Structure 1
Amino acid sequence: MLVGTYTSGKSVGIYVYEFNTNTGAIRLVDSSATSNPSYLAVSPDQRIVYAVNEDATPGVGGKVSAFQFNKKNGHLTLVNQVRSMGDHPCYVAVDKTGKWVAVGNYSSGSLAVFPSTRNGSLGSPVSTVHHSGSGPNKDRQEKAHVHSTVFTPDNKYLVVSDLGTDKVTLYPFSQSRGTLDSARKFVIDMPGGSGPRHFIFHPNGKWGYLVQELSGNVTLFDYAKGKLKERQTISSLPAGFNKSFTSADIHISSDGQYLYTSTRDKANTIAIFKINAKTGQLRLISQQETLGNTPRNFNLDPSGNFLLAANQNSDNIVIFRRNPKTGLLRDTGHRVQVGNPVCIKWVQ
C-alpha cells in the first residue's frame, strides 16, 4: 500500500506498507522523502510510481516525481523530477500504454501530458492546456481549478474535471504522440457552483461517475465515443445534513456493484451507493463515519474485503472491513498513524 501525504506536518513524503488482505494487518516497509506528494499513480506494469509535488515555488510552480518501485522489498528510488507546468499539481494519471503521464495543476487551472521512458523518467511535456473562466462561488471558483485528469477506458480521451469553471472536458488523446486535441474537445457544463472534482469509470467502461466537491452530488453519465451523456444526479450527504462540507473522493468496487464517496469538514463520512446492474443508476444505502477528520482520500484494497479511509487532519488511516455482498463497512480497530495522509494506491 502506497500512501501519499502533505509534508507540512509530521510526514516526510511517501510511505510504503505491506498489507495483509486476509486480516487487514499492516506493516511499514519503506518511506521516501519528497515534498507534498498529495496524489500518486502507478504504471500499468507496477514498476513506476508517479507523485505530484503539490507546491507553488515562485518561478517554478509544482513538480512531478518518478520513482522506481521494487516489488520484492517495497523500496522506492527516485528516478527524476520535472516541473508540472503549473502551481499546486493535485492529480496524476498514467495512460493504458504506460508511456504518457497526465497532471492537473489546481491553482493554475492547467494540465500537461509528459512522456515516460522505459526506466520511468519523465520528459518535457508534449501537451499543455490552460483553462479560463470562473464560477458563482466567489471563494472557491474565482478562476479555473483543474482537479482531475482521467484517461477513458478505451485510452482515446482524457477527462478533465475543473472545479473552478463547473466544466468537465473530454480531450481527444493520441496514444502514439501523447497530444491532446483541444479543437475537438467535448465540454459538459455542470450546475453552477457544483465544483466538479474526481471522475471514475465503471468496470464495464460504459458508465462514468463524477463527484462534485461543492454540491456534494454524484452524477452518472453514459460514456461512448468521446462523449458523456448525463443520466442521474444524487446527493452523497446524510439525510437532513445542513453543516459545512466538501466532497472529495470516489471509488467503485471491482465487481461493479457498489460506489463510495467521501465527504469532509463537518461530515467526515463515506457514502455507500448500490449500483443498478442494468442501468448504472445509484441508490444511497448507508453512511459510514470515517472515525477521523477530513477523509480527503480513501481506497478499497485489491481483495475488495477492506476499505481504508485516509483522514488528513487526524493523521491516521482507518481500516474498515467491507462486506462484498452488502457493501457495508465495519471498523476493524486497525489504524495506521501517519502524518496528513491524502492518497492511497495499491501494488499487488
Structure 2
Amino acid sequence: MNLKSIFLGVALACGTVIGYADNNIKLVVGTYTDAGSQGLYSFSFDQSTGAASELSSLNVEDPSYFAFSKDGRHIYAVSEKNSATAVLNSIGFDPINGTFAFKNSQLTHGGDPCYVSTDGKIALTANYSGGTISVFPILKNGTLDKSLLQIGSKKGGPNRSRQNTPHAHCAVFAPDGYILTTDFSGDRILCFSYNKHDKKLENHGIAAHIKAGSGPRHLVFAPNGRYAYLMNELSGKVIVYSYSDGKLKELQSIAADNANAHGGADIHVSPDGMFVYASTRLKGDGITIFRVGNKGTLTRVGVQRTGKHPRNFAITPNGKFLLVACRDDNSIQVYSRDKDTGLLKNTHQDIVLSHPVCVKFYPE
C-alpha cells in the first residue's frame, strides 16, 4: 500500500474529506413555481468535470432566494409572494444524501422577499415590494421564531417607474458583524447591528450614498473583508468600496451593463479574490468579468454571453466552474473558468429546470 492510500484511509477513518474525494459536492437550486416546478432541488455536482445529477426535491412556493446555515444543516428560503402570504421557510438539509425536510415558516410581513442571509443567530429577508427588512431569531433547533421588527427603506429616486415606491433588495452581514442593506429606491446603503439583549436592530446611519438613479441591488465582500463590490440594477455599474467599521468609501465606479438595459443583477468574487463577476439582464444578457487590482479596484477583462435572464449565479468552491441560472431559458448553464484569465467557457452540460433563479453550493 502506498503513502497516498494510507493517508486517504486515515483521513476517511477520521471523517475528513480531502483531495479528489472532495470533487463531489452538493448543489441546491431555487425556482419559481408558476410553471410546474417543485420549488427546491438538490444535485450532486462533480467539480472536477462539471457534471450534475439530480438527488431530491421539495415542494416550496417560489423559493427565489435562500441561504445555508453555517453548519449547512438548514436552508432558509423565501417564498416570494405578496405581503399577506410571503414567508421565510426553515428547511432541514442532509448534506450527505441531499434530501430536504420542511421545519417551519414565519410571515415576513413584507411583500416579495427576494434575499435572505444569516449569521447563525438571526436570519434577515429583504422584502422588495414591501420596502422592508425582516429579522427572524433562529431557535436552537434551527427553526425560525416570529419576525420581531422591520426596517423600512424610502422612495425618492429619479427613476419614477422603478423607484416610485420603497424597495429593499439585500441585507448582508459584513465581516465585522455589521448589517448592510441596500435601499434600492433611496440610492443608499444603510448600516445596522443586532442587539440580542433588546432584540432589535440598532441604526448606525448611512454606510454610503449612491448616485441618484443607480438602484443598488446586491453587495458582496472580498475574501479579505477590506473591499466590497456593489451591483447597481438601474445604472448597470459596479461600485468598488473600501470597508471599515460599518462605513464604505467609494474607490471606483465601472460599467458592467453596456446595453444600458437597467438589468444589473448578481455579483460574486472568485474564491481566490482575483476576479469579480457581475450578471446583467434584459438586453445583452451575460456575465461581465473584472480582474481585481492590488487596491481592490477593477479592470474589465471580458464578457460571457449567457442564456436569457441570468438572475443569479454561483462559483464552485474550487473556483473551476461558474453556474448561471438562466430563468427564461429554463436552464442552468455550466461554464468552466480559467483561473489565470478569469474567462469563461460553456461546457454545454446544462441542467434543465423550470425557471431556476437561485443556485448555491454546499459547502459554500
Q: In which range does the TM-score fall when normalised by the shorter chain?
A: over 0.9
Q: Residue 321 of structure 1 corresponds to which residue in structure 2?
A: 336
> How far apart, in 1, do the equivalents of 2:58 and 2:160 lie?
38
Percent of pairs with identical residues: 38
CA shift, 1:248, in A, is: 0.2
> How far apart, in 1, do the equivalents of 2:283 and 2:99 lie?
37
CA shift, 1:145, in A, is: 0.5
User: Do residues 346 (structure 1) and 361 (structure 2) align?
Assistant: yes
Contact 2:153 2:185 in 1 (8 A): no
Q: Residue 63 of structure 1 corresponds to which residue in structure 2?
A: 87
SS at match of 2:273: coil
Q: Residue 91 of structure 1 corresponds to which residue in structure 2?
A: 115
Cα deviation 1:55-99 (Å, max 9, x = unaligned): 005xx241000001011211010000100120000000011xx11
Of 262, 265, 283, the match for 2:279: 262
Q: Residue 274 of structure 1 corresponds to which residue in structure 2?
A: 291
Contact 1:310 1:344 in 2 (8 A): yes
User: Do residues 12 (structure 1) and 27 (structure 2) align?
Assistant: no
CA shift, 1:179, in A, is: 2.8
User: Do residues 215 (structure 1) and 235 (structure 2) align?
Assistant: yes
> How far apart, in 1, do the equivalents of 2:198 and 2:342 lie?
41
> How far apart, in 2, do the equivalents of 1:212 and 1:310 lie?
19
CA shift, 1:32, in A, is: 0.5
> How far apart, in 2, do the equivalents of 1:177 and 1:30 lie?
40
Of 32, 45, 57, the match for 2:71: 45
**CA 1:29–1:177 in 2, change beyond 3 Å: closer, same or farther?**
farther
Cα deviation 1:176-203 (Å, max 9, x = unaligned): 6653112x32342211111000000000
> How far apart, in 1, do the equivalents of 2:355 and 2:47 lie?
24
> How far apart, in 2, do the equivalents of 1:166 and 1:174 lie?
26
The count of residues paired between Structure 1 and Structure 2 equals: 337
CA RMSD of aligned residues (A): 1.3
Of 304, 308, 317, the match for 2:323: 308
Contact 2:194 2:201 in 1 (8 A): yes
Question: Which amino acid in 2 is paired with 1:161?
Answer: T
Larger radius of gyration: 2
Q: Which runs of 5+ in 2 are unaligned?
A: 1-26
> How far apart, in 2, do the equivalents of 1:298 and 1:71 lie?
21
Of 290, 298, 302, the match for 2:313: 298
Question: Which amino acid in 2 is paired with 1:138?
Answer: R
**CA 1:178–1:313 in 2, change beyond 3 Å: closer, same or farther?**
farther
CA shift, 1:160, in A, is: 0.4
Contact 1:101 1:113 in 2 (8 A): yes
User: Do residues 114 (structure 1) and 136 (structure 2) align?
Assistant: yes
Of 54, 63, 79, the match for 2:80: 54
CA shift, 1:172, in A, is: 2.5
CA shift, 1:134, in A, is: 2.3
Question: Which amino acid in 2 is paired with 1:118?
Answer: K
CA shift, 1:170, in A, is: 1.1
TM-score by length of 2: 0.90
Question: Which amino acid in 1 is paired with 2:249?
Answer: K
Question: Which amino acid in 2 is paired with 1:30?
Answer: S
Cα deviation 1:130-162 (Å, max 9, x = unaligned): 22222111111011110000000111x111012
> How far apart, in 2, do the equivalents of 1:24 and 1:6 lie?
24
User: Do residues 333 (structure 1) and 340 (structure 2) align?
Assistant: no
User: Do residues 172 (structure 1) and 189 (structure 2) align?
Assistant: no
> How far apart, in 2, do the equivalents of 1:324 and 1:159 lie?
30
TM-score by length of 1: 0.94
User: Do residues 285 (structure 1) and 301 (structure 2) align?
Assistant: yes
Q: Which runs of 5+ in 1 are unaligned?
A: none
CA shift, 1:124, in A, is: 1.6
Q: Residue 2 of structure 1 corresponds to which residue in structure 2?
A: 28
User: Do residues 137 (structure 1) and 159 (structure 2) align?
Assistant: yes
Contact 2:67 2:116 in 1 (8 A): yes
SS at match of 2:81: strand
> How far apart, in 2, do the equivalents of 1:112 and 1:245 lie?
26
